[in-house]
Chains A and B, each alone.
Chain A
């Protein structure tokens, strides 16, 4: 699969601060790549370097085979961008804004259709300074699409959107992927990355701390899957004794760690044959969010410990 974005040893320093501290990743053409990380991790900095808006300190970056900083003009015709803090001319309406971009890029998109796609049809003639935060964000997305881009860079496109509007943006992102475009996405909504992304990278303090498909990351860094059943500590002891699986009992609930999907059946059989009372059961698995919180938390604890006076 050809590579849309290729990053090797990327470093960006602001004075003494290394906001991006040597990261590598590839984004295959036609996939959705989610770039995750806590506030200040270096997501926007990286994204802007890829867009040609910021100059890198070290490393090599290729976007569609071009160097974003020195070949910016050529690159910008082929990519679409929503910056994290999208602002536009205050007195201009969404329809006029799309017409403006259409003239600048010399394309022939239909402003009505584009604004319908991002669900902004009811505000086509409202001035930018009267739009809500989410509506501005939608206009940003529409503008990013006016030039029929091969890659879309979306820096937190759904932050501040209501759940319905967020799903509308998801639909647009899925459509972009179906059309064979590459999407580079940053977000703080982990479930969004899990649903949309083919590949995910988690960045923290300017370094990639986990990368792969969402499932790969969960498998590598998540806790084992669990079967949860309501029952007494005696039942937990019985399950541990008969199956050899770890089982915690707390507040009337038992969590049994599963080695594989087949273990779930063994646990259910053992519960039935134990003769002890039990009720409602469910299986639980770590989400990307659980993994994210644990990974970032562990790193911060480590950082705090190593900095603590001895």
Chain B
């Protein structure tokens, strides 16, 4: 191992990278796009309230959404729904008969109808049924609305019966302080780029450099295969530091994530890059042609890209898939980052780190073993 040679090769890698706009886009801009995209798509599932269109068919109590004036029971009912903070009432005026198709047209998956005579019946302790519209495909919103309406209905019934509530509950999220989807998304997406940026380009480079004779050219110099691989590992570690910084920055500044940077993150960036650079080179080395290399690379990369806790928490997946996820190296990288960034669970993090480190050493050794500068 010679530092001067590794340094010289590192400079060549860095220059090639900075002069390639597509590579730059994928490592510097793409992470922000990803975090923005997933942050926007899934932010509802975490913190925000579900919008609930309501048709108030009880002429006895018009609702003023601006002043939130609660002088009648149906206004009180809607205000109580709003104060759950999980739904946000949006009163629309239209015939009840047209409501269902209107919801469909506007892509709402939930809706509520207050029936005629709701206020009067409640005053006189007579039955009155509100109707909840839902779309089974959006189980999350339906569940939220069912729960909220059920809770408010129970409260009204209890009050009408003159009772007092003595069982109650408070809410709290897992971890500390309060984490939302975006907080889990940040370690997931950092893991995503630790995986994808070295895998795609190392597989490609390893097979095409061999085809173009660039490896043969390098074999005529004192540069060794390990030095060549180490300089790529160093480059991808540097790149991952930048990408992780961008993700943390964008997550915190643009999407109000609660994670804070800790030094414990760095070993995962280092060892994770080490692992996937070596794996990419191994895949590129065992393939005979650039085409089959790309295929092998994709077969390795795609399952890991989705099933290791990148976009979705592994704990929310079906049990069979969870077991599969535990076979994927990226799972341990992302889980470890979750442990240090969110849960401060050092023991679990060290366990994850040890697994990735041992895996890296094995894959590195295999990559150097299978990687050939010259033909037989």
Contacts and interface: CB of A to CB of B under 8 A. Distances in A.
Interface stretch (A76-84, A225-233, A235-243, A302-310): A76-84
B170 interface: no
Nearest to A90: B16
Contacts of B20: 91
Nearest to B5: A104
Interface in A95-121: 96, 99-101, 103-106
Interface of B: 4-5, 7-9, 11-12, 15-16, 19-20, 212-214, 216-217, 219-223, 374-376
Contacts of A127: 19
B16 A105 contact: no
B213 A91 contact: no
A297 B257 CA distance: 79
B215 to A, nearest CB: 10
A101 B213 CA distance: 16
Contacts of B7: 103
A89 to B, nearest CB: 6
A87 B220 contact: no
A73 B217 contact: no
Given A53-B219, A105-B222, A92 B12 contact: yes
Given A103-B5, A103-B7, A103-B8, A87 B15 contact: no
Contact of B8 (A55, A86, A100): A100
A81 B220 contact: yes
A55 B96 CA distance: 85
Contacts of B219: 53, 72, 76
Task: Name A's interface SS.
Answer: loop
B18 to A, nearest CB: 8
20 contacts: A53-B219, A53-B220, A55-B375, A76-B219, A76-B222, A77-B222, A85-B213, A87-B214, A88-B217, A91-B16, A91-B19, A92-B12, A100-B9, A100-B12, A101-B221, A103-B8, A104-B8, A104-B221, A104-B222, A127-B19
Contact of B4 (A55, A72, A83, A106): A106
Contacts of A178: none
A83 B8 CA distance: 22
Nearest to B219: A53
A266 interface: no
A156 interface: no
Given A92-B15, A96-B12, A100-B8, A87 B212 contact: yes
B234 to A, nearest CB: 15
A105 B5 CA distance: 8
Contacts of A104: 5, 8-9, 221-223
Interface of A: 51-55, 72-73, 76-77, 79, 81, 83, 85-92, 96, 99-101, 103-106, 127
A123 B169 CA distance: 75
B374 A53 contact: yes
A53 B214 CA distance: 12
Nearest to A97: B12
A224 B8 CA distance: 58
B214 A83 contact: no
A105 B220 CA distance: 10
Given A77-B222, A91-B19, A83 B12 contact: no
Contacts of B217: 83, 86-88
A53 B4 contact: no
Contacts of A89: 12, 16, 214
Contacts of B4: 103, 106
B16 A53 contact: no
Contacts of A106: 4, 222
Contact of A96 (B15, B216, B374): B15
Can you list the 4 inter-chain pairs with the closest CB atoms, starting with the nearest?
A: A103-B8, A91-B19, A104-B221, A91-B16
A72 B223 CA distance: 12
B109 to A, nearest CB: 50
A79 B220 CA distance: 9
A83 B222 CA distance: 17
A81 B220 CA distance: 8
Nearest to B2: A106
